[in-house]
Amino acid sequence: MAVEVCVKAAAGAPEVLGDCPFSQRVLLTLEEKKVPYKMHLINVNEKPQWFLEVNPEGKVPVIKFDDKCIPDSDVIVDLIEEKYPNPPLSPQPEVASVGSKIFPSFVKFLKSKDPNDGSEQALLDELKALDEHLKAHGPYVNGENICGVDLSLAPKLFHLDVALEHFKGWKIPESLTHVHKYMKLLFSRESFKKTEPSKEYVIAGWAPKASLKCFQSHCFNLDLRSKQALGLQQKRQIEEEEEEEEEEEEEGGFQG
Ligand SMILES: N[C@@H](CCC(=O)N[C@@H](CS)C(=O)NCC(=O)O)C(=O)O
């Protein structure tokens, strides 16, 4: 029986795969291991009751194993590894945290309205560290074979690339040649092509976190249904962002 997995639907298009990097990470893991799966697309702006019943926290991704619904991509990929050990995707412990600060650094830079707050430099430092790691150990983080760290980083680098170019006209410097090669390699894999969200939805998903001006100009080009969905999403994300900021202040960090 195929594994069942709940992932995010696109904003304003509930029948299309959406822009959640954690959902894509799980799909990539299933694809790389050739595990057959059935996808349920969840409209996170109007979560179905059955979904909230099996997962009261309401976040995607969720996987169903042995009649149990399990959320959280970290937990899910570990379980997939246990049940489907081939090909092995667990990284060597020494590379497990490679690139782990790229996503929170990207989000900080995307949200930043102050060009002198150091968020751009912090992201560049993380990308440079990845470039150096790949230069020494590549082409993948673990060497010759793809591993779970690559499958976690691939969707995040895709979001970074698409959103920063769209909202800030910012590109990963050409000098980071190993990062560029790495992204090409990841994005050209069959697993990525099969699970890739449309750029339009990635941009729509980040719009509420980027500047309002960019959000409005982007909305101008959308149809009414998408505008309504995005309006709701924007309201909810601003609330979430405020909660996150409060938590960050309490915990002293960002959880991506
Ligand atoms: N730490 C979680 C993060 C999952 C997450 O943040 N999912 C977002 C979509 S990208 C979500 O479900 N948002 C809807 C909501 O919180 O209501 C994981 O790795 O699975």
Sorted by where each begins, the domain ranges of the chain are 3-83
204: tokens are: 């729509």
**Where would I find the H helices in the chain?**
21-32, 49-54, 73-83, 102-111, 119-137, 148-168, 177-187, 190-195, 199-206, 212-219, 224-251
Question: What's the gap in Å between 164 CA and the centre of ligand 1?
Answer: 21
Helix axes 102-111, 119-137, angle to 10 degrees: 150
**Whose structure tokens read 């990525």?**
192
Six-digit token pair at 168?
């800030």
pTM score, two decimals? 0.85
Is the Cβ atom of 28 under 6 angstroms away from ligand 1?
A: no
> What is the 243 CA–ligand 1 centroid distance (Å)?
14
Decide whether any atom of ligand 1 lies within 6 Å of the 246 Cβ: no
| Residue 240 Cα: closest atom of ligand 1 | 16
According to CATH, the superfamily of the domain at 3-83 is Glutaredoxin (3.40.30.10)
Say yes or no: CB of residue 234 within 6 Å of ligand 1: no
Bridge partners for 6 per DSSP: 40, 62
Ligand 1 centroid–CA 24 distance in Å is 11
Instruction: Give the helix/strand (H/E) hosting 71.
Output: strand 68-71
Task: Assess contact for 32 and 89: CB atoms under 8 A.
Answer: yes
pLDDT tens for the chain, residues 1 to 256: 689 999 999 988 999 999 999 999 999 999 999 999 999 999 999 999 999 999 999 999 999 998 899 999 999 999 999 999 999 999 999 999 999 999 999 999 999 989 999 999 999 999 999 999 999 999 999 999 999 999 999 999 999 999 999 999 999 999 999 999 999 999 999 999 999 999 999 999 999 888 654 544 445 455 555 555 555 555 565 556 556 655 544 443 222 3
Q: How far is CA 243 from each of CA 9, 174, 249, rounded to the nearest angstrom?
A: 23, 36, 10
